[in-house]
Amino acid sequence: MAEAHPENMKAWLYSGTSGGLEKNLELKYSIRAPPVPRTNEVIVKVLSAGLNPADFKVPEMGMAATHLVIGMPATPGMDFCGRVVSTGPSATHFKPGQLVYGSHSRPMKFGSLGEFLSIPASFVSPLPEGVEIDQAAGIGIAGQSAYQSLLGYVKEGDKVFINGGSGGCGLFAIQIAKNMGCHVTVTCSTRNVELCYRMGADNVIDYTAEEDLVAGVKRQGVIYDHIIDHIGLPSPLYFQCHHFLKPDGVFVQVGASSMLTFAGRLAWPSILGGGKRKYVIFFFTNTGQHLTKLGEMMEEGNLQTQVDSVYEFEDTVQAFEKLRSGRARGKIIVHVAKPQAHWHQEMGLF
């Protein structure tokens, strides 16, 4: 017998962001659960959630934007792994009790730091056998972003340069590029050099040891086929990349210090000192197909989520404080619920 749709749930809520999202979080033990799934949606009982900087950056854009884009009050969190509770008529390829993982494309009203969430079935993938829940919970946004910043741009034998190798996207990008057969050079700080090598990087440039990072990259004498920039700094990196990026190579900007950085690089002509290589601003696409591909890599042992720290649900505020500090070496995971061997009893399915 199928479970009755959950009416209430526990969740972290925020109704404002003054002073930072984490200062406005409140744990509620009985709020209204997501509505009955629409035609193509699934309701998931969240077991673990992975945090991303966008979880606080988007809500903090301004209250007008937050109300318009998200709706208030809201529960933060995009990445998750959990069990299917119920499905809409067009999502019956997922079954109640099935372990799945995925991500919202942006912060939503019902985020992954609540007991239940509703999500389009196309944003979800079945959890492969042998892949741990916490590993899958951290892959949604960062893993797909890393994959998409490489897919269609590189081939086996290419040389890839990643500016910012030790963040969430960077650590996934190292592993995925290596899986694609590429030679990988990354930048990071001294404390993360060993981590980047452990994730598979062939060469690591410690930017804290370089007075001029761009000069240091030039000094290496390597001509790259592809560049991914997760930082947006130093600014001359793009404008000088013709010295170390092939003429048909692409400079993909995944992160930047500001929208002005994006606009300036696109508008500044090369004859006036602007960039002389193709510049692409990365836009995230949420797709179950890419999630499934990443899951296959994890199942084969070729991809892992580097977990910085794990927090229990009641400690979510501290998890956000760690996220905001920028000192996390990998993903921050929050345990929303404990996996149950007898899940059908817990959920009332039988």
Mean pLDDT taken over the chain: 91
Cβ(336)–Cβ(311) under 8 Å?
no
- What pLDDT, on the 0 to 100 scale, is given for residue 197? 98
Same structural domain, 218 and 163:
yes
- Tally of CB atoms within 10 A around 161: 28
Q: What is the rounded CA–CA span in Å between residue 250 and residue 268?
A: 17
41 inside domain: yes
288 inside domain: no
The backbone region for 148, taken as left when phi is positive above 0, alpha when psi lies in -120 to 50, beta otherwise, is: alpha
Per DSSP bridges, beta strands 183-188 and 159-163 are parallel
Q: What is the rounded CA–CA span in Å between residue 15 and residue 43?
A: 23
**Residue 218 C-alpha from the chain's centroid:** 30
Q: 326 φ, ψ to 5°?
A: 75, 10
pLDDT tens profile 179-188: 999 999 999 9
300 inside domain: no
- What pLDDT, on the 0 to 100 scale, is given for residue 345? 41
Domain boundary among 231, 248, 281: 281
pLDDT tens profile 34-51: 998 999 999 999 999 999
Cβ neighbours of residue 310 under 8 Å, at least 6 residues apart?
A: 134, 332, 333, 334, 335
* Cα-trace Rg, the chain: 21
92 inside domain: yes
Burial of 11 (0-12, 13-18, 19+ CB in 10 A): buried
Q: What is the pTM of this model?
A: 0.90
Cβ(323)–Cβ(127) under 8 Å?
no
CATH number at residue 240: 3.40.50.720
- What pLDDT, on the 0 to 100 scale, is given for residue 344? 43
Same structural domain, 267 and 343:
no
Look at the chain and report how many structural domains it folds into. 2
Same structural domain, 271 and 316:
no
Same structural domain, 326 and 219:
no
Same structural domain, 229 and 321:
no
Same structural domain, 72 and 168:
no
pLDDT tens profile 246-304: 999 999 999 765 444 555 555 555 544 567 899 999 999 999 999 999 999 999 999 99
| Average confidence (pLDDT) over 209-223 | 95
- What pLDDT, on the 0 to 100 scale, is given for residue 264? 54
Same structural domain, 160 and 269:
yes
- What pLDDT, on the 0 to 100 scale, is given for residue 274? 60
Same structural domain, 18 and 76:
yes
257 inside domain: yes
Cβ(336)–Cβ(75) under 8 Å?
no
- What pLDDT, on the 0 to 100 scale, is given for residue 340? 59
pLDDT tens profile 53-109: 999 998 998 766 666 778 889 999 999 999 999 999 999 999 999 999 999 999 999
Same structural domain, 203 and 134:
no
Same structural domain, 41 and 126:
yes
CATH number at residue 331: 3.90.180.10
Same structural domain, 128 and 221:
no
- What pLDDT, on the 0 to 100 scale, is given for residue 255? 72
144 inside domain: no
1 inside domain: no
Q: Which domain holds residue 204?
A: 150-281
Q: Kindly tell me the sign of the dihedral angle through the C-alpha atoms of 104, 107, 110, 113.
A: positive
310 inside domain: yes
Q: What is the rounded CA–CA span in Å between residue 306 and residue 177?
A: 16
Is it the case that residue 308 has pLDDT exceeding 70? yes
Same structural domain, 61 and 160:
no
